Structure 1
């Protein structure tokens, strides 16, 4: 493939692949109430799960979103589902003590199990499948670290992990680019837009009102709770849930100072030649690697395309510009794809935190759940559900994340001015055998 080759298909779209089958819903005009029991800001997984609980619990519930329902990363992600906790047990124990560390990791396991049960119980058709997940080592030091971690899982938090040495990796993935890896057999996949649509339908059926294209511009204390200002008028709500994650903005400055919005970029290829999917992905597992600037990829649910994502630029860029960079990395891993073209390229903002943990709690009287650090399908859903229960006052709303401090940094106000330098540093580290 030459640098000036036309890499895009004739029907290329700078939009998520998932939207082809599930466009953003047209909800029609919504009359805003003057007052409501619960106002949820954000209509992604977190917000809709919170709304589902409060609506089913008998509270009048209004979900507000600046764009269309689910326009953010809830329909832009790769649809990969894991236990989602990034810091290992030892790291968390040093920060918070062993009891809290175990409770946090237990929540990751609980979220993974719960989302499969939820989808089955609600009969949401979203191509949910427990295919397993290959975490591949990009160098020998990383592989040694994976082997050590796999052999020292704490009792009660076992994942079923299995080590795959380099000479056996072809049974998992059709590339020689990695030094081995580990398989987590309980991890799963889904179509994120179909899942979101099913969740939206159930929230609406429960009696929640969803108002798209209705940005919240300010939130203030008021008699009876909070006054939310929008371009379409004001609403007084007894309880407020902030569920904005990587799109957290000026109306909630405390949360904004604690969330780092980082663009994650994805491409979908045109349909593969017959048999090629089985050659490259013989087990159909999802894949991530051990780079600090991680790549994540999988087959589409129909096994016809490769969906490939990662961070390929120092700053945020246009998906048309990120597509050639992502494709070059895909071809480096799989030379058989050297003539493949790109049918879709898109991006979304994930919400990172300074301690690489999700956070759930209450600040200034408002509930919040956010900061899923790029692994939010299960965790956002699970913590959104728990937050809804917290609003209802249920004991089942408690989580292992409760009571954690939510750190920020001096001079940080929500714009990651340090991102370009961090990306350059991590890219340098990824080139070394560290």
Structure 2
């Protein structure tokens, strides 16, 4: 692909980092002892740390990279109700009462994060933008219409269908066949949100130790020993909050999450009149394809941020960028000659049942597997995880005790990803 597709100042790094670079925390040695050690400084780890540190317990947060280096500052900043399986499928698996409770947790997470941002005074461009979920075929539009018209009693959300004839009120494209508008879905700047959360965790007294990976966790009496390259830490409790970056440190968890690279680009600045035509209501957008795309205007409405899965295996952002650009141009032909200013990747974690999981294994607390909906659910379950570590009854969730599935011979390397992507792309193309 010609280098002319990239701007002269192109960065193979998240667009969000321009405004909020990764924090330069002073190098420090981890303490010899702590009440709680948290592995991972993304949304899950920091929300757990905030609960625990504010309770007065000594809290240490370790990260192998800079604070928030992972997908917490690499995502698109969209916030939904976060639960992918519907009521019928969840009822088949877990019974109606548990199914309803799980879906209610998703709705609760959306309301909770908005209240948290407001109450903490976080300056992160949070807005209830609404999400236009576009139908990529006439049949998918009819399915969306059925879903909107038949929402389960007690679980209804604010949404309505948008027929193709009215589609340009929501998005300046004729590619789709109408869609559904979810009015309460929201957006934010993920790096600014992470930075504000990090600052509050540090004010609460937690100690952040970046570039200091946990290399081993072993039982020791009533607690644990956490080994790092800079020494060991004796801890009463350990929390693992590594999501799409879960590795050999915790083999049991690694076998239960599927790391998937989610790729994004940012366009160069667009003419304001063009942006007003393409994204007239400033919605966040997704579509009904199984190999999904998601996109939005940047908070300042100068660029379009576009993400999705574009390769069968993990690849370099310089290679994924042109592929995403081609897909973006198929939606908005006006952008065919628009250049890319940023291209990047972050790893999300899927699970075999498409549900997030929270719990305790061999005494180690964890929450992970947000299946691409991590802004809201990682924040919410991180908060609940902190409450569980503290033994608070309000920490209970509808996810507690769910079987955390794996598959025979799966060790954390998703060898099946490429054939799965091929199959779902084929199915997307055949949709009528």
Into which bin does the TM-score normalised by the smaller protein fall? over 0.9
Does 2:41 align with 1:70?
Answer: no
Contact 1:115–1:378, Cα closer than 8 Å, also in 2: yes
- Residue 293 of structure 2 corresponds to 295
Does 2:320 align with 1:319?
Answer: no
- Residue 401 of structure 1 corresponds to 399
Corresponding residue to 2:305 among 304, 307, 327:
307
Contact 1:224–1:236, Cα closer than 8 Å, also in 2: no
Separation in 2 of the partners of 1:328 and 1:334? 10
Corresponding residue to 2:281 among 283, 292, 302:
283
1:239 Cα offset (Å): 0.5
1:41 Cα offset (Å): 0.5
- Residue 347 of structure 1 corresponds to 345
- Residue 61 of structure 1 corresponds to 59
> Cα deviations across residues 25-82 of structure 1 (Å, max 9, x unaligned)?
0111223111110000100000000000000011100000000000000000000000
* Count of residues in correspondence between the two structures: 432
- Residue 244 of structure 1 corresponds to 242
Map 1:363-382; keep pairs closer than 5 Å.
363-382=361-380
Q: Please, what TM-score do these two structures have when normalized by structure 2?
A: 0.99
Separation in 2 of the partners of 1:95 and 1:391? 28
- Residue 225 of structure 1 corresponds to 223
SS across alignment from 2:38: strand
1:154 Cα offset (Å): 1.2
- Residue 331 of structure 2 corresponds to 333
Does 2:156 align with 1:155?
Answer: no
1:370 Cα offset (Å): 0.2
- Residue 16 of structure 1 corresponds to 14
- Residue 234 of structure 1 corresponds to 232
Separation in 2 of the partners of 1:245 and 1:5? 34
1:223 Cα offset (Å): 2.0
Q: Which runs of 4+ in 1 moved over 4 A?
A: none
Does 2:189 align with 1:191?
Answer: yes
Q: Please, what TM-score do these two structures have when normalized by structure 1?
A: 0.99
- Residue 36 of structure 2 corresponds to 38
Separation in 2 of the partners of 1:146 and 1:226? 49
1:5 Cα offset (Å): 6.1
Separation in 2 of the partners of 1:363 and 1:274? 52
> Cα deviations across residues 206-243 of structure 1 (Å, max 9, x unaligned)?
00001000111111111230111111111111001110
Contact 1:224–1:237, Cα closer than 8 Å, also in 2: no
> Cα deviations across residues 341-370 of structure 1 (Å, max 9, x unaligned)?
000000010000000000001111111000
Separation in 2 of the partners of 1:275 and 1:69? 38
What are the ranges of 5 or more consecutive residues in structure 1 without an aligned counterpart? none
Separation in 2 of the partners of 1:75 and 1:333? 26
Contact 2:29–2:230, Cα closer than 8 Å, also in 1: no
Separation in 2 of the partners of 1:135 and 1:283? 14
Map 1:251-266; keep pairs closer than 5 Å.
251-266=249-264
Separation in 2 of the partners of 1:168 and 1:126? 31
- Residue 118 of structure 1 corresponds to 116
Separation in 2 of the partners of 1:427 and 1:5? 28
Separation in 1 of the partners of 2:3 and 2:21? 30
Report the RMSD for the aligned CA atoms in angstroms: 0.8
Contact 2:388–2:395, Cα closer than 8 Å, also in 1: yes
Corresponding residue to 2:358 among 334, 349, 360:
360
Separation in 2 of the partners of 1:367 and 1:223? 17
